[in-house]
Structure 1
Amino acid sequence: MGIPRLYAEYAANVTIYVIDINDCPPVFSRELYETSVLVPTYKGVKVISVNATDADSGIFSQLMYSIIEGNIGEKFSINPKTGDITVQNTTQLRSRYELTVRASDGRFASTASVKINVKESKASRLKFTQSSYSATVQENSTEAKTIVVVTAIGNQINEPLFYHILNPDSRFKISPTSGVLSTTGIPFDRERQESFDVVIEVTEGYKPSVVAHIVVEVTVEDVNDNAPFFVNLPYYAVVKVDSEVGHVIRRVTAVDKDTGRNGEVHYYLKEHHEHFQIDPTGEISLKKKFELDTLNKEYLVTVVAKDGGDPAFSAEVTVPITVMSKAMPVFEKPFYSVEIPENIQLHSPVVHVQANSPEGLKVFYSIIDGDPFNQFTINFNTGVINVVALLDFESHPAYKLSIRATDSLTGAHADVFVDIIVEDINDNPPVFTEQSYTATLSEAFVVGTSVVQVSATDADSGTNRGISYQLVEENSESHDYFHIDSSTGLILTARTLDYEQIKQHKLLVRAIDGGMLPLSSDTVVTVD
């Protein structure tokens, strides 16, 4: 604007990107699809593929296909992603079906009709050399291998034969002219599917009416690729001090997803033990009687489960076994766990533990460990645990109390763990890293100039600690001149600044956390 006027040497190129919105419906390649299915047919045989396109981009052009009408008896199914329609149920097929298929992009949808004629296979001069074929593939193999060669006879001289798979699967391919069926190198997982029926059709030359079908049964051979794993964890056990040899203390169970020898599970103790043994079914029993003074002693017995594969896989688990006297109390549960909010009212009951004396004597309860700040008490008569001091998730999110039940007459006792998980409550407001912020700007700065970045933190966890920022409207018009990024706290100019009109702006910025009942804090930003 000076005199004389000066111009920029180069013009600025401004690129404007148009952001796509979902405003186009899907369009099928045809309004009507028509095809025929020859019976007998098989589950998984591909009937036809429908296709729709959407002029939108990205996620707005991803389509979902479904059959909405005409699928009487659920005879057909459609792949929701690819639009491939396959046979689902081969019993009592009608001679004609008219399906209505739908393609949806999540907002818009279109439909098309699919007419399927079901026809009987005519007697054909083509015959396969075998009435059925079988083959095996090895689990996990990534090698593409020939598994079987199917051969048809009966074609006229100089008429070639063409083979193709009616129920396509990306793991199989067939040579169209030789009938060589092979794998593609995509690995098989026997634990997901242990056999496949590959339906092969042969046609003579270019006469689709001269056809024959055959099924190749493909079995997946198992490989030892799964380790045993223990179920119904965790394990705890008690055994009376006067138990006889052979008494079954506890049974552990491990399962293996493999089959045959690979899935056979054998149990043994990791370390030789004087008092305990385990049999092939996983039953831990007493091998040698205890001395009568072996009271309240806990043994940690490690059990190994090993499969019969080569090489073999194994898993191990530790079973705590407590030796108890006739008078030793027995807790009703092997362990207790509970979740409580950090703002729970003082003197509220948390959990009730209960132990019974085999002799019917009175049992007293006490907390012996796991309460470093004395925040819990237990009623020594009833076993009810109460909160007696304020909890704070941020400083102590969990407690593992060790509770003891003591027989009133003999003094015999048993211990149990109580896991107390403290749930976070939104009890901390955001705190700005600075009490106030200042910035100085030239009035010549363009719109969109960064002014200052405010930042706050929150001591809560999860969504309660998520923070968003906003400018709070006050009597002044200053907030109209600025914009704040709600997620980062970066303040930018939104209008041209004028020193002569307003020499200083004071902005009130609020940080709000993500709690269900959100908490907030404010700070002042001064812009000169």
Structure 2
Amino acid sequence: MGSGQLHYSVPEESQHGTFVGRIAQDLGLEVEELVPRLFRMVSKGQEEYFEVNVQNGILFVNSRIDREELCDRSAVCVIHLEALVDKPLKVFHVEVEITDINDNAPIFPVTEKQFTIAESSSRDSRFPLEGASDADIGANSLLSYRLSTNPHFSLETIENHERGASLFLVLNKPLDREECAAHHLLLTAVDGGQPQLTGTVQLIIKVLDANDNPPVFNQSVYKVHLLENSENGLLVIKLNATDLDEGTNKEITYTSSTFSPANGKEKFILDQKTGEIHVKGNLDFEDKNFYEIQVEAKDTGNPPLSGHCKVLIEVLDVNDNAPEISVMSLLVPVPEDSPLGMVVALISISDRDIDANGQVSTSLWPHGTPFKLLSTFKNYHSLLLAQPLDREQEAEYRLVVTAQDQGTPSLSASSTLVVPISDVNDNAPAFAQPSYTVFVKENNPPGAHIFTVSASDPDVAENSLISYWLDEKLWPLSSYISVHSESGKLYALQPLDYEEVKLLEFQVRAKDAGLPSLCGNVTVQVFVVDENDNTPVVYGTEVIPISLTVPVTAGQAVGKIHAMDADSGYNAWLRYEMHEAISSPWRVGLYSGEISAARSLDDTEGSYSQRLLVLVKDHGKPALSSTATLSVSMVMNSQAVHGDAHLSRKGGSPKPLMENANVYLIIAICSVSSLFLLAIIVYMALRCRFQAKEAVVYGPGTAALVCASEVGSWSYSNRHSHLLAGMGGEAGAKSDLMVFSPSIPACVENGQVGVVKEPVPNSSEQVSYKN
């Protein structure tokens, strides 16, 4: 029913409330849904003649309808109604035909008509009469005439199927003015309605002598076709009447007795002398397309005689009206998730011209938009959604509807529709990259801003309002890191210690404020960068006894200093220096910490005791250092030289020598001490080897950090390092072996940590490590 129509009929002059039809039932609508769906009637350009009772769905007459006033003499009088419902929008087309009733009586142009007829008029002379008009149509406007009884005159009717009947008064018996100078007749017009209505005109016929030949036209009816755009002054027709009399009885003047419609006097003018009819006013086919002029030709005889003719002027249509576009309904804004086929607008397109001049074709510009025009009924078109919408690609469409007729030349009209697209939450917040790597120096101030994450959302309003939070489902990070919910700024809540935490890995989530809300996330890896904040610690010595019978050769090792730095990399790379190395016979390895003889020593040196001060420094900036004090005693006279070293930060003093009788006891004690020290070294080596094999899982791979001295002698760092990973990493102890080049920092690539060591002077090995 959405594309068809309903047809009702109702007589004109029906009273208010007259039943027309059950429109809701005929349209297939439930009465209960008329109010919720905003059922309404639209009658474009007309009064509200009809109304619908939304309680029972009945269409009834709302006001009086005069068919003649509404449709003039059109054969069919139809009122076009549009029934609209929303949710969804549908349009139904309804036609109500107004049937005619016989409510108009025939009317003559005048109530009294006078004639002058010469007594010399011959029998069967015919005198034209002007007929009556009836505003009704059909049988109600079919007129018949009758003339009151008179022995001299009768009425003759000649049917004209196009424009009614022509009436003639026929002289049946010659007139005798002396017998009767005037005849009074009554002409009655009767229509064909039920009941019949009549109209009358009084005919007064005066009988005159003398001039007995009236002017005669060469035809009784003239038909002319005229274009509506004819210019003023254009000759329409030249009438010609002849009179057989002579002299003054032959001179003729032309007069236009009546015009139909009455405004024909404003459109045409008749020249009384020549009988020419010219265009006087602007003609409009859409206003009136037919005119009828009664012309009388009268001579100047005494009495004057006259002849009559009828001029029928038909106005032809030209293409002088452009199409008219009217937007009857526009549902905007359109949600971007609207279903295909949704009706966005209802558009009426009409043209007042007829035939090809009134045939209209429509188009929609620009091409490629997600909308299309669909003709629904007669002059109505629907703007439909034909393709899915995406507000992020196009937030508003400016559509131009063009209507063009088929006339020559063709006329067109256009109307612009602005269709905004409303947003729905169909885009989740997105970060510029899937993960971020951040380097933060340890010992940062509490609450320091370390990084800012930012997500974007192409939606608008609350659908693009983003808030941030940390995902702490797998590991609590609230004591280390916080994120500002609006700006996305990351803050370190407490100072970070590289020796405790080397990596914080977590996810930051972004959520918009739409309904339902959508989320996005990004992985953040925070690497804690080591600073030189730990001083080297000396924790052990190694004692080597030297026999007096064997001279001490240059380069012979007599002991070794063991030190450790809790830092990493350069900050944990230690070097050893003698505090006063110019005159001392001893030297210390720059990176190994071994104490050896700088030159050969023999028994000529004698017995002596010497205190050595060794300075242990790291490579940090600024460098941190500590000292170790070593006491060396030499014993002569065939006793083994015994070196005893004692390390402390405060320094120490040499131990007293034993008596010769206790030399074996001293050797035994030294042996036990050496074995004990060797056991400690083996234990630490095994422990470091075990810890070096441990790996802490984070992200997609493993990471192991190792520290080493430059020359290949290893200093082991036994400390606990904690790793916090938002993705579920473990925290555990490990040993670090790392060698750094001064010009090449640590690097992170694809989530992996790698360190490259460059060769340094006096070193034959190059160590590199990548995980």
| TM tier relative to shorter chain | 0.3 to 0.5
Bigger radius of gyration, 1 or 2?
2
In the superposition, the TM-score normalised over structure 2's length comes to 0.29
Q: From the two aligned structures, give the one with the greater helix fraction.
A: 2
Higher-RCO chain (CA-CA 8 Å, sequence separation at least 6): 1
